Chains A and B, each alone.
Chain A
Amino acid sequence: MTRYSAWAVLKAGFSGQKNWDRQWRDPEPQKRYDVVIVGAGLHGLATAYYLAKNHGLRNIAVLEKGWLGGGNAGRNTTIVRSNYMMPGNRQFYEHSLKLWENLSHELNYNVMFSQRYHVSLFHSPAARDAAARRYNTMRLTDSDGELWDLATLKTNIPHLNYNNARFPIIGAAVQKRAGNARHDAVAWGYARGADGYGVDIIQNCEVTGVTRVDGQVTALETSRGRIEAGKVGFAVAGNTSRLWQMAGLGRLPIESHKLQAFVSEPLKPLLDHVVVFGVGGAHFYISQSDKGGMVFGGDLDWYKSYAQRGNLPIVQDVAECATSILPCLGRVRLLRHWSGVMDMSMDGSAFICKTPLDNLYLNAGWNYGGFKASPASGWYFADLIANDRPDPVIANLDLDRFRRGVIIDERGAGPDPKLHG
């Protein structure tokens, strides 16, 4: 595997780009693997990578029904932050952020993680106090976080709507180490890294059946043949229930909902930070990609859907939010909008856990928050699979937590998946 560097790019320029080889192989599936991960999204690929790197496992396959990184990996709005407050989330997302900070070097692939501040606006003293609780918790747990008053916010982002907002901005909660990254690069970086360790990434390979004997999964039936597995991990956010039912396991605390995302025409730098707001029942986030497009989004469509395309009412809602905080966006043109399918869970938090089958492991329920979680998700899922027990950090990210009464509900919205967006 060629090491990437400016030197390599220079050499390639002189050789007519002939010295690059495939970033990952396209192997034929073997008959059997020690570990099979279903889903070559960010979480599945990261898991395979860490299984190889942290745990020395080699006989691993990642099965992907389409093309790797083609699901939510390539559709999200790329925000990376760790401003989670609930026990069970706080350490997890902080670990993830720390992995992000060195990810390009870890993978020798520029994932373009830009720590350009996550700025979360608030519009009332009560909201400021609620933000203070969250960001104080962050500061006390080895992370960064601060509050900006209106004057500071105006100095940093002068072109927000300070004049005729329905909900006047009074300040913002800021995490400076947060920002955004290039989503495809993360998928490709993990893929190349895992492949470099000998992980087989098998694309166009859809799991069509799960064979069980007693309390174990013995094999997966796929569109490219039967594959036996020592251990199996599911990492197929959006389609988790379908695979779960293929394994004969019944129901889950998950509903599939679609989330729309939007990008504008590319512009010279217009916004240097990630800006987020939520007030009056609205929810909105925006940043600018390095190519220049404004990338933004808002709420779920609210009805369950597996269709990766959205309807107009949300388009209008998001446009209203966009122009209400950045009035200059009125003339900026929307270039494309699309959607992805989310695993929305009953408390808005994820599952990285064992299952009723001894050798089947689940990684699911990421709601809106999957992208930023990718490195830690892979890290802990790999650890769980390799050691067959969850690390204390993820001890409560299991399917049984509802039975126990553990509530990891950042929103306080209760057991209704659509409310956790």
Chain B
Amino acid sequence: MSARRQTSGGRIDREQHIRFTWDGRPMQGYPGDSLASALLAANEKVLGRSFKYHRPRGVMSAGVEESGAMVTVGSGVRRDPNVKATMQELYPGLAASGQNAWPSVRFDLGAVNGLFSRFFAAGFYYKTFMGIPPFEWFSKGTGLWMKYEKIIRRAAGMGEASRLPDPDVYDHAHAFCDLLVVGSGPAGLQAALTAAQAGFEVWLVEQDCELGGELLSHADDRLERQRVELVAELEKAGVRIMTRTTVFGLYDYGTAGLLERVTDHLAKPPAYLPRQRFWTLRARHTIVATGALERGIAFGNNDLPGVMNVSAGRSYLNRYAVLGGEQIVVATNNDSAYAAAAELAGAGARVSLLDARANIDGSLLEIAGDAGVSLHTAAAPLDATGSAAISGLEVAAASASGWRSESRIACDLLLVSGGWSPVVHLASHRGVKPVWNADNACFVTPEIGEPIQVAGSAAGIWNTDACFDSGAAAGVQAVKALGGKARAKSMPAIGGWSNPILPVYEIRDPARKTKAIVDPQHDVTADDIRLAHREGFVSVEHLKRYTTLGMATDGGKVGNIIGLALMAEALGVDIPAVGTTTFRPPYTPVAIGALKGRNVGEHFRPLRRTPMHDWNLAQGATMTMAGLWHRPWYFARAGETISEAYVRETGTTRATVGLCDVTSLGKIAVQGPDATEFLNRIYSNPFAKLPIGKARYGIMLRDDGIVMDDGTTWRLSESDYFMTTTTAHAGKVMVWLEELLQTRWPDLRVHVTSVSEQWAGSAVAGPSSRAVLEACVEDPSVMGNEVFPFMGVIETTLNGGIPCRIARISFSGEMAYEAYVPADYTGAMMDLLWNEAQKHDGCLYGLEALGAMRIEKGHVTGAELDGRVSIDDAGLGKMAAENKSFIGSAMRNRPELLREDRPRLVGIKPVDRGEKFNAGAILCAADKVSGMGEGWITAVTHSPALGHWIGLGFVSGGHQAWEGTTLVAADPVRKGNIDVEVVSPHMYDPGGERMHG
């Protein structure tokens, strides 16, 4: 009783042998084999175990609907669980193993679950596991449930994924075409050729490794000749042929997602190839020629290894030269099984055919008779028997009162055809609900309101020749829709069997107790469907979720229709009244790695470096991340820690001079006759009278009155301004300015240009800053205090003719300048400045030192301006002009925003100066260290100037409200509570004298 490889025939290359292993055992196959066909030929029956009951599973199909032979391929970093053996091409050295079983799929201790199956009905876990059995005692909280959950999780899941990083590389590619044809069966081949010959750019995408679809499983010379000719003509016509590629989803505007398996069939993939390629293809027109999938019938033990669909039996014989059994029973309710039965008999098996229909016409009788197939009408499978694989079948006969057990036959292979389901998934992705065709007992796709057509068996056309015709007709329609000329061809009618199908979904004899499986991966039984009905889960969505029917990796391709039919029967309605679930992409599962393309690891997001990056590194900078940027953090000299470095940097800058890379700030050129008016509208403080040659610090509010960003804008001429923004908000501010100019104020004659990348900038800060710059500019007289006062702006030239613009502005609080040059001159400028700075014993400083200085001064940054803070909260209320309206001026006066007790910007010092605290601590009243608190700390530093830790933050009412009171900085997630006092945020040089030099 076994399967065997035929001595001739099939599309395999018998000249070569492929060695592979299955569960560690050496096996052999041929090029052209799938893993499933090779294992079948070796008579391996049990290849997997089902999810819930660990029932043995074998090959059930020859395609993507496979629900039984789910195996793990590979090991270590390249371990791939849940691979369908039917879709895995055999290659030398392939190592496959069983999964979801212990110790092996052939002998699995998990099968003990099956003994308790009567208790494990659908949804049983919602009714228990809450407490201690039997009555869910001690049920409080989730502790007990989580103990049960540990066990459930280990039993759940099918395969085991590796925890190691996926080593493979994937590509994301983009393409455009006129016509996308999905599927290369007779309809797809013909449709593609029709359009290509009309001059259009056609993509023909086929998930199999070869073109032909169902044609590959026929034993018909004429059809094979036709196939070969068509393929040759397609190549000649320049059709882009993609094999091993699945169209996994159809999206808006003719966009298709494709997954190309580039090397999954190769033993030694070349290093330069990606493992898989994800395509975003934009097609002007799409033809879905995805064929139809054969479905089974629910009857007792219909999930035993050795039970598969009829077309699989045929495919294994004709395509892979594997005769699946010696005593074959073919059970059907429709005409399509007869040709297969005849071929199997012709190959040497003893074949019995059970047709559920009582009356069939002479043509079928003839086929059976000529082939020596033993035909039984009004007969159907009732209960398959066998331990690990089928060895016999109890047959039922139709009677007036339903199906009744009648006889038994021995059998080692049972092929079942319960009908065909057109593959409607891609249309479903577009939100199109399929329509039930009662004559053919299947769902078909109605008119889609997009340039998408269905052809071939996907449209419910069964006859192969009619499928060719339907492809041609669809091709013609596509050509016309694309603007070409073609003579219309009529689309063949749905159907094509000479005898009508008898809708049969379950064979059940009330006198016999049988367990029929509807979803073979999740072990959803026919009784589960009836249970769902009993409990009120009657809609198709509830049915699916309650029983988990169709939620396994086959996506319900096998079981959905049967489930619907059983629910319809329980409800006493027709199938369409129950509805159909929406199919979601992907059609078959797609590796997450493929969908991400190359944006992996370091390339997950871009890295932005200023033109000073290498120069900074050469000077010993340690970099830190600031958004997408790398910025210098500190410049440690030999053996310095970060603390030593920034304290030195601060001290040096305050004592003499320091240089700091400020290039990452946003820079925007605001130009035009109305530039002044524009700035005056968007900044909260007055800009209408900013003199030429001066800069001004400005605050921008959002429409709702909350602070959006701050920066400094320089006036270079009557109509030319240079705006700077914070690093973090540069992009956002640019978008905002463009939005205002283009959508709200189109009458303003202003143009904005992002020049962030075009200008590189360095701060030059400290008492010697002027001296340094004097030595670096060609004309030192431009630096004089009268001609270049605080907040002044000059455009000048550095030594060597470097164009430069300099503003005397200060974020650090020291006398300082910011010097900008076109980015190409960065190195030259820095060499000049640094050379001079060193003569003054100056230093380079980074973000840590800058942070320390700005915290001491009480200057706000994004840490304080968190998108909820108003201008008054930040202590900058004086910058909100009283005598003009500006963006946000109306909304900033909403009552809650004006309350006195709002959290206001403060400085924070530890009561015991030796103590430390952290940003993120909550400031609480000393007698109420709980609740929402009075405020929070935003930034801290060990102040070089003051010699102890200080911070900035917010406290309700501001520091005036807490004069002389001790607060508590509560930090339970880190170190605990510290007593603090709140003071004015301007903790160093509050009068700002140092800036004015």
Residues of A within 8 A of B (CB): 4-10, 12-14, 16-18, 20-26, 66-67, 69-70, 74, 87, 90, 101-102, 104-105, 108-110, 112-116, 123-124, 126, 128-133, 135-137, 139-141, 145-147, 158-159, 161, 163-167, 173, 182, 184-185, 188-189, 203, 264-270, 280-282, 288, 290-292, 307, 309, 311-312, 315-316, 319-324, 327-338, 402-407, 409, 411-415
Once the chains bind, are B592 and A290 in contact (CB under 8 Å)?
A: no
21 examples of A-B residue contacts, CB within 8 angstroms: A7-B135, A12-B124, A110-B127, A110-B145, A133-B920, A140-B932, A141-B931, A164-B602, A165-B602, A185-B126, A266-B553, A267-B161, A268-B156, A268-B157, A291-B551, A309-B584, A311-B252, A332-B592, A338-B582, A405-B894, A407-B706
By a CB distance below 8 angstroms, the chain A residues around B159 are 265, 267-268
Once the chains bind, are B597 and A316 in contact (CB under 8 Å)?
A: yes
Is B487 part of the contact surface with A, judged by Cβ < 8 Å? no
Q: Which listed residue, A20, A270, A407, touches B531 by the CB 8 Å rule?
A: A20
Once the chains bind, are B80 and A280 in contact (CB under 8 Å)?
A: no
Q: Which residues from 130 to 146 on chain B have a C-beta closer than 8 Å to any C-beta of chain A?
A: 130-131, 133-136, 139-142, 145-146
Once the chains bind, are A307 and B431 in contact (CB under 8 Å)?
A: yes
| Known A-B contacts A312-B255, A337-B584, A406-B896; A21 and B534 likewise in contact (beta carbons under 8 Å) | yes
Is B895 part of the contact surface with A, judged by Cβ < 8 Å? yes
Once the chains bind, are A332 and B161 in contact (CB under 8 Å)?
A: yes
Once the chains bind, are B918 and A129 in contact (CB under 8 Å)?
A: yes
Once the chains bind, are A409 and B920 in contact (CB under 8 Å)?
A: no
Q: Which listed residue, A124, A136, A158, A309, touches B920 by the CB 8 Å rule?
A: A136
Q: Which of B153, B278, B918 is packed against the most chain A CB atoms within 10 Å?
A: B153
Is B947 part of the contact surface with A, judged by Cβ < 8 Å? no
Please provide the 8 A-B residue pairs with the shortest distance between their CB atoms, ordered closest to farther: A412-B867, A330-B166, A132-B920, A292-B157, A405-B894, A330-B593, A327-B165, A405-B896
Is B451 part of the contact surface with A, judged by Cβ < 8 Å? no
Tell me, rounded to whole Å, the shortest Cβ–Cβ distance linking B413 to chain A. Answer: 29
By a CB distance below 8 angstroms, the chain B residues around A311 are 251-252, 255
Q: Which listed residue, A112, A270, A320, A415, touches B604 by the CB 8 Å rule?
A: A320
| Known A-B contacts A7-B134, A132-B973, A330-B166; A101 and B534 likewise in contact (beta carbons under 8 Å) | no
Q: Which listed residue, B142, B592, B971, touches A264 by the CB 8 Å rule?
A: B592
| Known A-B contacts A10-B119, A316-B172, A334-B595; A140 and B933 likewise in contact (beta carbons under 8 Å) | yes
Q: Which listed residue, A115, A184, A269, A415, touches B142 by the CB 8 Å rule?
A: A115
By a CB distance below 8 angstroms, the chain B residues around A109 are 126-127
Once the chains bind, are A126 and B156 in contact (CB under 8 Å)?
A: no
Q: Which listed residue, B140, B589, B866, touches A334 by the CB 8 Å rule?
A: B589
Once the chains bind, are A265 and B589 in contact (CB under 8 Å)?
A: yes
13 new A-B pairs (CB below 8 Å) besides A404-B894, A409-B868? A7-B135, A13-B116, A110-B128, A140-B933, A265-B159, A268-B156, A268-B158, A268-B160, A290-B152, A291-B156, A316-B596, A316-B597, A330-B600
Give Cα A404 to B542, complex, Å: 44
Once the chains bind, are A331 and B591 in contact (CB under 8 Å)?
A: yes
Q: Which listed residue, B145, B160, B249, touches A113 by the CB 8 Å rule?
A: B145
The contact string, 1 if C-beta is below 8 Å from chain A, for chain B 82-121, is 1000000000000000000000000000000000101101
Q: Which listed residue, A6, A114, A132, A332, touches B136 by the CB 8 Å rule?
A: A6
Give Cα A178 to B381, complex, Å: 51
Tell me, rounded to whole Å, the shortest Cβ–Cβ distance linking B559 to chain A. Answer: 16
Is B974 part of the contact surface with A, judged by Cβ < 8 Å? yes
Q: Which listed residue, B251, B595, B920, touches A130 by the CB 8 Å rule?
A: B920
Binds A, one of B434-442, B688-696, B904-912, B922-930: B922-930
- What residue in chain B is nearest A313 (Cβ atoms)? B280
Is B266 part of the contact surface with A, judged by Cβ < 8 Å? no
- What residue in chain A is nearest B599 (Cβ atoms)? A320
Give Cα A192 to B885, complex, Å: 57
By a CB distance below 8 angstroms, the chain A residues around B156 are 266, 268, 290-292
Is B173 part of the contact surface with A, judged by Cβ < 8 Å? no
By a CB distance below 8 angstroms, the chain A residues around B537 are 23
Once the chains bind, are B922 and A136 in contact (CB under 8 Å)?
A: yes
Is B585 part of the contact surface with A, judged by Cβ < 8 Å? yes
| Known A-B contacts A265-B589, A266-B552, A323-B592; A166 and B604 likewise in contact (beta carbons under 8 Å) | yes
Q: Which listed residue, A8, A10, A20, A189, touches B535 by the CB 8 Å rule?
A: A20
Give Cα A128 to B168, complex, Å: 33
Give Cα A129 to B864, complex, Å: 12
| Known A-B contacts A167-B605, A412-B866; A104 and B130 likewise in contact (beta carbons under 8 Å) | yes
Q: Which listed residue, A110, A167, A322, touches B592 by the CB 8 Å rule?
A: A322
Once the chains bind, are B970 and A336 in contact (CB under 8 Å)?
A: no
Q: Which residues from 729 to 786 on chain B have a C-beta closer than 8 Å to any C-beta of chain A?
A: none
Is B164 part of the contact surface with A, judged by Cβ < 8 Å? yes
Is B233 part of the contact surface with A, judged by Cβ < 8 Å? no
By a CB distance below 8 angstroms, the chain A residues around B153 are 269, 288, 290, 292
Once the chains bind, are A415 and B590 in contact (CB under 8 Å)?
A: no
By a CB distance below 8 angstroms, the chain B residues around A323 are 166, 592-593, 596, 600
Q: Which residues from 573 to 591 on chain B have a C-beta closer than 8 Å to any C-beta of chain A?
A: 582, 584-586, 589-591
Give Cα A403 to B705, complex, Å: 12
Is B78 part of the contact surface with A, judged by Cβ < 8 Å? yes
Q: Which listed residue, A21, A136, A166, A402, touches B972 by the CB 8 Å rule?
A: A136
Q: Which listed residue, A104, A132, A291, A405, touches B971 by the CB 8 Å rule?
A: A132
Residues of B within 8 A of A (CB): 51, 78-82, 116, 118-119, 121, 124-131, 133-136, 139-142, 145-146, 149, 152-154, 156-166, 168, 170, 172, 249, 251-252, 255, 257, 278, 280, 429-431, 527, 531, 534-537, 539, 541-542, 545-546, 548, 551-553, 555, 582, 584-586, 589-597, 599-605, 607, 624-625, 627-628, 702-706, 708, 863, 866-868, 891, 894-898, 918-922, 924, 929-933, 936, 938-939, 970-974
| Known A-B contacts A105-B139, A324-B604; A135 and B165 likewise in contact (beta carbons under 8 Å) | no
By a CB distance below 8 angstroms, the chain B residues around A6 are 128-129, 133-136
By a CB distance below 8 angstroms, the chain A residues around B134 are 5-7, 10
Once the chains bind, are B863 and A126 in contact (CB under 8 Å)?
A: yes
Give Cα A135 to B139, complex, Å: 29
By a CB distance below 8 angstroms, the chain B residues around A166 are 601-605, 607
Give Cα A70 to B585, complex, Å: 19
Once the chains bind, are B868 and A9 in contact (CB under 8 Å)?
A: no
Once the chains bind, are A336 and B933 in contact (CB under 8 Å)?
A: no
| Known A-B contacts A128-B920, A331-B166, A411-B867; A291 and B157 likewise in contact (beta carbons under 8 Å) | yes
Q: Which listed residue, B257, B584, B628, B921, touches A338 by the CB 8 Å rule?
A: B584
By a CB distance below 8 angstroms, the chain A residues around B607 are 166
Give Cα A118 to B145, complex, Å: 18
Once the chains bind, are B592 and A104 in contact (CB under 8 Å)?
A: no
Tell me, rounded to whole Å, the shortest Cβ–Cβ distance linking A126 to chain B. Answer: 6
Q: Which listed residue, B133, B868, B930, B973, touches A7 by the CB 8 Å rule?
A: B133
Give Cα A167 to B119, complex, Å: 49
Give Cα A321 to B597, complex, Å: 12
Once the chains bind, are B165 and A136 in contact (CB under 8 Å)?
A: no
By a CB distance below 8 angstroms, the chain A residues around B124 are 9, 12
Q: Which listed residue, A102, A402, A412, touches B141 by the CB 8 Å rule?
A: A102
- What residue in chain A is nearest B128 (Cβ atoms)? A6
By a CB distance below 8 angstroms, the chain A residues around B931 are 140-141
Once the chains bind, are B896 and A23 in contact (CB under 8 Å)?
A: no
Q: Which of B165, B920, B973 is packed against the most chain A CB atoms within 10 Å?
A: B973
Once the chains bind, are B600 and A324 in contact (CB under 8 Å)?
A: yes
- What residue in chain B is nearest A408 (Cβ atoms)? B868
- What residue in chain B is nearest A6 (Cβ atoms)? B133
Q: Which listed residue, B146, B149, B163, touches A270 by the CB 8 Å rule?
A: B163
- What residue in chain A is nearest B521 (Cβ atoms)? A266
Give Cα A208 to B3, complex, Å: 62
Once the chains bind, are B168 and A330 in contact (CB under 8 Å)?
A: yes
Once the chains bind, are A409 and B119 in contact (CB under 8 Å)?
A: no
| Known A-B contacts A5-B127, A291-B548; A267 and B429 likewise in contact (beta carbons under 8 Å) | no
Q: Which listed residue, A126, A136, A312, touches B921 by the CB 8 Å rule?
A: A136
By a CB distance below 8 angstroms, the chain B residues around A66 are 541
Give Cα A295 to B938, complex, Å: 35
By a CB distance below 8 angstroms, the chain B residues around A337 are 584-586
